[in-house]
A and B are shown apart, each in its own frame.
Chain A
Amino acid sequence: MSSLPVASKPQPYSRETVRKTSRLRGATVTQGVCPYCAVGCGQLIYSKGGQLIDIEGNPESPINEGTLCPKGANAFQLAVNPHRVTQVLYRAPFSEHWETKPLDWAMDQIARRVKAARDADFTVRNEAGRLLNSVRSIGTLGGATIDNEENYLIKKLFGGGLGVVSIENQARI
């Protein structure tokens, strides 16, 4: 069958079609790293007017060379997602529902609870007289999905500052 006669005929372009460009024009691009697995794919994050408009692989990254897996390609929907919580939620003991609260209130409440628990349970030495200087009734979990610096701050504040010993993350699981 003869090839291409159709394509060579003049085509009825609409004005919009002619005007069409990629939405990346005029966007600000930021260096990102995929938040999912440990492969560490480089991503380019495009934003315009304070809004995310696109996230895709960084073609220069020697690890992924611009490619992504379905989860990496989904990074945009992970950030721009109607299910995301954008206010502090609080559930009182035995309550059946969430209440939304101011961030400042929550920070204050949490700090007070930490202090109360620490003051009550801080142990300097155990029965055997060995040095403990630890709090065993508070713990933290997580770190493998956040940033290095945040992990360091967790260990420093909770471990070095408060004396919390049960500081854990996904590495074990």
Chain B
Amino acid sequence: MALSKLLDSWPVLRQLREGDPLGLGKAVQSPRSQTLVPRIDEAEHVVHSICPYCAVGCGQLIYVSDGEITHIEGDPASPISRGRLCPKGQASKSFVQSPLREYKVKYRRPYGTQWEELSLDDAMDMIAERIIKTRADTWEWKTEDGNPANRTMAIGNLGGATLDNEENYLIKKLMTGLGIVQVENQARI
């Protein structure tokens, strides 16, 4: 029984049966080839996104299966990019899954010679403390020539061109609230 099944699937016989004597086409098609399905058709869900590199603003479709990105390609619906992507945008999946990607907080103590582990919560708390202290130590109400200042010149924040508008909004809002004026980003550069 099983043997006859095996025989049936033997391409040599299929060559004769399926009108492919040379065995160049259908007769030699493998099980995998017969049942092949593109993985984007098997994705659990597709997410509309925007390329993170330059400012052309190409549309991206992100395909996800069990919590992992399985593929990223262009979004044809975008009137700007029409589904096309450059090598960088096309490599977005490899970027977010880069072998060099960091997943853990790293801490370097003063004069330290290597990175140390640190929990995210501790890091957040320590950073908050540093800001509060530095700010208290260096606060200026007035400039030398007696003009209003209401600020600290000892803290700066750099970055934003690669961030979301919402993120930039919170950064500027928080820093302004803290009296930190040295807020800058790549737009300057």
- Do these two chains interact? no
